[in-house]
Structure 1
């Protein structure tokens, strides 16, 4: 029984190794123009929010 278990474990290990080797490489995709616009608009909103918060506190100059 012990030898059968060893053989079973070895066969599973070899299958896992094969699966790791067959893994396809990651292909990085470029951002679409709509995603780029969305990122810019989020950055712009954050900047406007910071500016408005600074304007609400005229005595402090932390931006």
Structure 2
């Protein structure tokens, strides 16, 4: 069985790879999508917003290196 920390690292790497290839879309529906994801997964909306903010900021920093 895989370590939960390692699963998280792999999931984050896949997410960043996908965001890098597909781009980041910021529009009025972005907030609604996060709300839908929160309801579907049971993850609190505030946590999802903080996660999205952190990952997006990291992606922008990597892009501007």
Same fold, TM-score > 0.5, yes or no: no
TM-score computed with the length of structure 1 as normaliser = 0.34
TM-score computed with the length of structure 2 as normaliser = 0.33
CA radius of gyration, larger in? 1
Greater length-normalized contact order (CA 8 Å, ≥ 6 residues apart): 2
